[in-house]
Amino acid sequence: MAQRMPLRRRRRTKIIATLGPASSSAEVIERLFRAGADVFRLNFSHGSHADHAERIAIIRALERRVERPIGILADVQGPKLRVGKFQAGRVQLQAGQTFRLDLSPTPGDVRRVQLPHPEIIQAAGIGTTLLLDDGKLRLRVTRRREDHLETEVVTGGPLSDRKGVNVPDVVLPIPALTEKDRTDLAFVLDQGIEYVGLSFVQRPEDVAEAKAIADGRAWIMVKLEKPQAIDNLDEIVRLADCVMVARGDLGVECPPEEVPLIQKRIVRTARAAGKPVVVATQMLESMIAAPAPTRAEASDVATAVFDGADAVMLSAETAAGQYPYEAVNMMDRIVARVEQDPGWRSITDADRPAPQRDSAGAIAAAARQVAHTIEAEAIATFTSTGSTTLRVARERPDCPILGLTASEQTCRRMAVIWGVHPVMAPELHSMTDMVAKAVRAAAQEGFAKHGDEVVVTAGVPFGTAGTTNALRVAIVK
């Protein structure tokens, strides 16, 4: 059988790279892809629709050129809370002083500033903590009125125009989608992107609202960055299509010593639910300005891989840093090295959740076990929506997973799933046809050669979502 040499990754954990001013050209985006980026993230906190449309067009052109599916994550901003402006642009707050937050748009001074979010004023109570500028300043509410909060400065420091406000103590009565987000969401859904990053989720209702708007046109990737979301973790993960451990704001609103434990809990919960999970934020932060990471950052990436994350993500490192290519290349090297270690496989096997209690879960678990027993070169999964492939990936087999689908949308979505090599394949017509297409794809994609065995799974009747019920072993001839 003729075999071409396709571009394939030698690791299971995927890499997401954020695009921005440092990575907007076709040349840089292609370099990042070839260095190891499987998915590109567009941050809708910055840039115009025209900017993002241009980057989407570049990615789609690259996809056609390299003949590999590439996922696109559109990360909408969410309800970012900020103070107003100051007369002099900034003030210096001292610990112990009083400071008022009110609704007046008049530029502030050292005694007060605008807080253009009446919902915070209404939700706060005596003793509520307010964190400003990514937690650098800490205020405690001492009195609440209809139009303002009186606070005491607990931790002082410089405060300048439009700095962010975090309220870790209370659930704010604000939706996860702002009007800007809804406009951005309509734009990206028309563009045909694969995943929508939903910011500042607090309640399951936030996820349900976004899914209703997307209506199946994109997977909703819930960003877990609020303590209230962790309180509702199981239900939020159940509703989500994918999950992100967004450690930036999570690290502001939760004590630092809690964040590693929360990360492990989120990854474990998503793994058990069979939902792709991404670990993000500050993974190789020093590479924004340096060509190599700290040893602690390399260990942080390795920890996410050992935990079983489907993907790890670069943010400012590739969007605005001086070394975007080097950052992706370094992350690729770290992930690949960890996955070569015998301890990684031992931990992966030990952490495998119990099979899902249905026939589809049983078939997926059996596919992994059969592949391990016969030392198969690959597991080929046929899927229309991605559900069959997700079930097999949940089992973390020790051979590669071929995700075969007739849907271009599903093929791109599988770019974020652990261990999956997505491939476009024609619709199936029979079990014989399924086996023939599986062994042909395994050979053509460079996973198997003559005489090798491939485990094949699919749902019958073909093309029906959620019906993983067929298992075969095929030999490449």
Positions marked active-site: 41, 82, 223, 281
The answer to whether 196 and 214 have CB atoms below 8 angstroms apart is yes
Please tell me the distance from the alpha carbon of residue 200 to that of residue 165, in angstroms, as a whole number.
Answer: 13
Query: Residues for the chain: how many in total?
Result: 477
- Compute the CA torsion angle 355, 356, 361, 365 (nearest 10 deg): -10
Assigned token pair, 409:
């949308």
Is residue 126 classed as helix, strand or coil in its secondary structure? coil
Nearest Cα to 62, choosing from 34, 82, 41?
Answer: 34
Nearest Cα to 214, choosing from 249, 234, 246, 239?
Answer: 239
DSSP H or E stretch at residue 14: strand 14-19
By DSSP bridging, strand 453-459 and strand 468-475 are antiparallel
The answer to whether 195 and 226 have CB atoms below 8 angstroms apart is no
DSSP per residue, 364-395: HHHHHHHHHHHT-SEEEEE-SSSHHHHHHHHT
DSSP per residue, 197-237: EE-S--SHHHHHHHHHHHTTSSEEEEEE-SHHHHHTHHHHH
What is the number of alpha carbons within 13 Å of residue 130 lying toward its C-beta?
29
